[in-house]
Amino acid sequence: MTPQYYKIYGNAFFKVLAYVDNGVIKTRTTSLAAPIIDHFTKDMVNIFNDQYPIKLTSNTLYFSTWMPPIPSQAFDRLVDSQMKSMVSETAWKLGIPASTIPDQVTISITEECPNNCIHCALPDTKHKTNLSIPVVKDIINQIVRLGTTQIIFDGGEPMVYEGLEELVAYVPEQTISTVFTSGSGLTSTKAQALSAAGLYAVNVSLDSPHETEHDRIRGRTGVFNEAMNAIGHCLDAGLLVDIYVVIAPHNIYDLDAFYDLAVDMKVHELSFYEIVPTGRWIDHEKEILLPQHRVILDEFASRRHGGPVKVFSIPQIMDVTGCFAGRRWLHITPQGDVLPCACIPIPYGNIYNDPIKDIWRRIQKTGVYRAKSCLMRDSTFRDRFIK
């Protein structure tokens, strides 16, 4: 039987298609010159080969909460951006500064948050600075023109922002929208409203699979239960749900318990990021993932490859791609400052003064944001720019 094909890339001369065989994604190229084309597209297709989709319908393949569905306008734009990035990489190697596209933009719409996490990248969560709805809409217009394919509403706690649904509904079809949340304030009504507005996925933060430890890290009793309830409401509302774990020395031995919880909760994905010494954690340079912790994370990720829940390990991906800060990522603070990523507190401009396009160009021109790994863990970078 002919499998269902999903188009990854296609032009007048060749197509790269994905299909699912025994639960895993495979790719094939249709062209007379397939072996030659395969050589040029191998980096792109290797992202998909032998990976598990998080959801499959008769005409759509959902690879991850971090990627637009295939096919979609947003996905086509992401592929174009990936191509541009490959050209840019080659140009930089030849000493020619070349621009990339900020695929993923996090907009910190509010500083406000009911929690008080020990590691929060944004240290002033008791202040109430907001980006207003018209300002965020203008940001959305600007970044969509720049080529952004994923807008992540961030905070503070985005659920306390009045009008989040209006912002989600404003995001055009060329771009997916997702949200980082602790789950606080994410009621059933809110989940239904966000889903109706077109939200693609929800990344619910979890720092421990154990209630008391999670609440300790989040600085408030009850946050764990709020997160669990939020997950249930989002799944009921038909949203894609990811449990997003910031891995640190204090939770590295809980990986299997996180996984079991993700399976119990029936979420689509379980993602891992590493703790960054920034914000409230800025002086904890030694309390980050050490090489022996990375061995544990990598062993876990390969052991759990295969489901039922997809494991998405961002540190592992970055080993191959390098850090995306200021290269594929961009962050906007509640004050309107534009940063290379949410964890690098260096503003290169402010949205109230300059077009984002100009600030993005300014970041690119520094040539600094082409790092192999997180610059906030690099003592030379910290000595030069942070201290």
Name the site residues for ligand SAM (rule: CB under 6 A): 113, 119-122, 154-155, 157, 180-182, 205, 244, 246, 273, 275-276, 278-279, 281, 343
Longest dimension (CA), the chain: 62
Question: For ligand SAM, which is the closer residue by CB, 17 or 217?
Answer: 217
- Least distance to ligand SAM, CB of residue 281, Å: 4
- Least distance to ligand SAM, CB of residue 32, Å: 47
- Least distance to ligand SAM, CB of residue 333, Å: 11
- Closest CA relative to residue 361, chosen from 142, 101, 149, 141: 101
Question: For ligand SAM, which is the closer residue by CB, 79 or 131?
Answer: 131
- Closest CA relative to residue 161, chosen from 136, 196, 198: 136
| Sequence-separated contacts (24+) of 81-85 with Cβ below 8 Å | 81/147, 81/149, 81/328, 82/44, 85/327, 85/328
Residue 308: is the preceding peptide bond cis (ω within 30°)? yes
Select the binding partner of residue 116 from ligand SAM, ligand SF4, none (C-beta < 5 to 8 A, by kind): ligand SF4
Question: For ligand SF4, which is the closer residue by CB, 157 or 215?
Answer: 157
- Closest CA relative to residue 277, chosen from 269, 267, 266, 287: 287
Question: For ligand SAM, which is the closer residue by CB, 237 or 289?
Answer: 289
Burial of 379 (0-12, 13-18, 19+ CB in 10 A): exposed
- Least distance to ligand SF4, CB of residue 15, Å: 42
Binding site for ligand SF4 (CB under 6 A): 113, 115-117, 120, 122, 125, 155-157, 182, 218
Give the three-class secondary structure for 68.
coil
**CA 69, CA 311: separation in Å to the nearest integer?**
18
| Exposure string for 223-239, b = 16+ CB within 10 A, e = fewer | bbebbbbbbbbbbebeb
Question: For ligand SAM, which is the closer residue by CB, 25 or 332?
Answer: 332
- Least distance to ligand SAM, CB of residue 66, Å: 13
Select the binding partner of residue 41 from ligand SAM, ligand SF4, none (C-beta < 5 to 8 A, by kind): none
Select the binding partner of residue 202 from ligand SF4, ligand SAM, none (C-beta < 5 to 8 A, by kind): none
Residue 367: is the preceding peptide bond cis (ω within 30°)? no
- Least distance to ligand SF4, CB of residue 213, Å: 14
Question: For ligand SAM, which is the closer residue by CB, 45 or 255?
Answer: 255
